[in-house]
Structure 1
Amino acid sequence: MTMPFLRLVLVLGLVVAAGGSAAVAALCWRRRRRTPAARTLAGIMVVAAVWCLVAVVAALPVPLWLQYAARWSTYLCVHAVTFGLWALCRDVTSVGGEHRLDRRTLGRFAVVPVVVLVAITLNPWRELFFAETVEPAGSPAAYPWAPDVPRLVSYPVLGYWLHSAYCYALSAAGLWRLVRAWPAAHRYFRRQLTSLLVAAVPPIVLTLAGPIEAGDRGMVDVAPLGFVVTGLTCAHALFRQGLLSVVPVVREHVVERIADAVAVLDPHDRVVDLNAAGRALVRRLRPDLPEPYVGHDVAEVLPLGPSHPLAAGRADVGGRRTLQLAPGLHAEARTSTVHDRRGRPLGRVVVLRDVSEEVAQQVALDDTARRLEQQQRRLTRTHERLAAELEVNERLRERLDREAATDALTGVANRRALAPALTAALAAGTPAAVLVVDLDRFKVLNDTHGHAAGDLALRAVAQALQAGVRPGDTLVRSGGEEFVVVLPGLAPEAALDRAEDLRRRCAGLSLARPAGTHLQVTVSVGVGVAAPGLDAQALVAAADRALYAAKRAGRDRVVLAA
């Protein structure tokens, strides 16, 4: 006798269900790196495929030990799928790393499955879950089409129903998370949540319906067939809705926790959503406006003028702008328009970030910069004034230095310039000479013609001497009617020639007087020549002695120091 047609159809359906579940598991596993929920769904589909194959084994005439193993495996698959469904719902509605289960949580969830599996394995405890009998081969209760195979017959009792209630409660807890997340989810994620809810219904319904009579006094567990619909639904969601490509996030876990104020406006600029930071901002700006703020125009919720870029009726400005919402309250506003698939505007999203502290700091920095700029201008003016004063002082110093080193009557250097000139001439290591020039009979000139005539004679002699010296020579009025000429780099013969030239220049002077008379002036010159071991003082002294020798010799002459 062959297997009844209904049992054959059910067995083939279970095989197809196993293959479909395995295919969906493979697709999910390929997406495991994109989202943690893909791993969970892949695990559910693998267990579902195993459950279908176990149901196939249980529906065939197999040895008694294999029937026991199939029943034990069925309980294991039921617990694994139930826990997987709860974990999938948790993954889809969780945020960040909250999908990970710690060991303690896994341990708590493992208590019931372990207890049940141990109980149905041990003979005394098995009676708490079902009453069983074994129909021997050839008995009327055996399969008519396989009479030589003993048949295990089980009837559920209290433990089975408690175990079933636990599994349904765990599944309901997971589905309740989806139901609770659905109203607050974006439309894009609502489609995914709906697909998961629909996918979970067929297995639950078939599990509640229980095994089906196969027409040969035997039952076939068709609960795994529900996963055929589950697999197809999830496959559709994977390829058509982007299921698991983006895991939806519960709104209150993200938007409500954002520190920035987020407001969603409809096309008429009415507020349709406002997060916690936005509500706190409105309470600060409009303490008299009662909650809820949803449904109000944005101008009623926020104190915006008609020209404000966020005011009702204004076009989307995009980008970022810093706005003053109240005295001392500034916000950086970012707006973006949301469009549907046809490009029609659905509304705007406005994000306001409190930048009052940054603005206050910027104002303080700008104020400090202005003060520093003013101080810089004052310092520049002070610097320019000091520079001008320093230039004047330098000119005055140079003038004072010149006046301090210049004879006021004759305009030539005074005695202060003599020592440096002598030191420099002797330090050069070349021949040098000193001329001491003295006006002849200057006292008689003063006594006879007056001091004005004496001053005139001194100025005339100084000009004649100045005209006769070389660049680099130094002419000094050392006092009274005496002048000193320092001649660096001149040998004795050249020094005598220069002294004679200067004497002739002075002798040729004719000084006109107011009365029409003229004065004649002569000078006597003593020449001192530098020699080894002779310092500046000794050199001048030698020239003085030569000068006195010229005076004694009759004046108006040049004498070389011996």
Structure 2
Amino acid sequence: MGSVDATYALAYGSSAVLALALGAYVLLRRERHVLTVTLTVYLVANGLWSSAELAALWLGPVRGRLVSGLILPAVAVVVAACWALVQGVRDVTWRPGRRTLAVLAAHPVLVLVAGVTDAWHHWVLDADGAGYAWLFWVHTAYSYGVVTLCVVMLLVARRSASAPQRRRIATLLLASSLPVVGNVITIATLGPDAHDLTPVFFLAAAVVFSWAVLRQGLLDVVPVARAHVLEMLGDAVLVTDETGRLADVNAAARRLLAQVGVEAVVGRPGAMVLGPVAGALLGASGRHACDVGTSRLVLDVRRTELVDRRGRALGAVVVARDVTGESEREEQLATANAALHAHLETIERLRADVAEQAVRDAMTGLHNRRHLDDVFPVLLDRCDADGVPLSVVLVDVDHFKAVNDDHGHAVGDRMLVAVGRALAIGLEPDEVLVRYGGEEFVVLLPGAARDVARVRAEALRRGCADAVVDVRGGTLAVTASAGVATSCERWATPSALLDAADAALYAAKRGGRDRTVVAGTGHVRLPRPSLPSDAPRASTAR
């Protein structure tokens, strides 16, 4: 790198650092006013521009691509920021709307897209990158047009401005001339691969702009506008100093205090003059209920502490809103919601009771056939997925018709309840017991193979002997028969398993009752020494 290039590098580097540093200073120095934000955007874009020019010193032949892809979009942002700065100078209450922002962003975005894709169409630079193409000149003409319009607007504004404002506008007009002169010289004498000092001239203009904004009082009118806005706010606003004395109140605060019979006296301690609302207005942020005579006032209060740059307390700003009506409506809504929630809980409880009753046998309290229809396919699929069998036991009370005929249906019903209770007592946690109909009961044994199911069925069947009821002259006991079927390829559906268990049950009946038969194995009888007779019997002692 030669001495000339080193000089340019120093200029670009200094310009980039100064632009970015000044942008940060402007953004942090003042509140977020449109002038300070716009000036920050201007400085950041100028810093990027200078950084790109600095990079071009090392990239050499590809400088033209930097011009199209980065430098021109940065220039477009600077031009848009210049226009926004002038609008803010002409009217400090000006705020750009969405449409204005879209129009201002259109130029930088279009230039950026065209620059990134220039290698395909060569609208910004010619094919060999040695000269500018038509879109570059359109961009340049547009930029000069916007800058010229800004100058014209400043001249018009200066004619009707006050003497101090005219001096400020004259300063801005002088600053605007610096980049114009520098850019004209650059465009007229240099090509795309030459060094361009225009960003340095734009930075000089930005320095003057910053001085005008921060030192010449361009923002002095903002507090006046704020005072007007504060007075027009619908929320009550009170300002206190560090000792708690009232420093200012707006119209809404005066109206609020008048409702509670209080006159706000600026300069007096708030605790002494705010009466029944002093605790709410001088306390922490939140919702506060105040008793005012026989009525109740609810205030939503937001408190913000004021500090200087060194962190020392200056006072506080209190914003309050009367939310009495809203609070009453919320309380009514909460009461209604609580009642509705309780009602829904009652409905859900009743629904659950009805659903449970629908799958329960009213007499025995056991699950009924509807429940069996629901759980049987699920258990069978689960056992099949786990690779284990599912066994079904069909239990039938022996000679139950004789019980009804000899002792009456009331005794028969009590006997069924007792049998169901005896079967339930002998049930394992994962087994399912259902009253299938009449004097028949079904037990599902998940994971039980045929031999295990036979043992379980026999235990359950023998447990039925414990089912006794009192009758005239003593007690009555019964025996039961059981048919067992275990899932396999032959019996792979609930209906097939039930049919197989039913066939085994009938085999047990034909074989003399009081026994267990397993489907597919023939008649199997395990003796019952405790019940010598297979018919219902009445005895005087157990």
- TMscore range, shorter length: 0.3 to 0.5
| Higher radius of gyration, 1 or 2 | 1
TM-score by length of 1: 0.37
TM-score by length of 2: 0.39
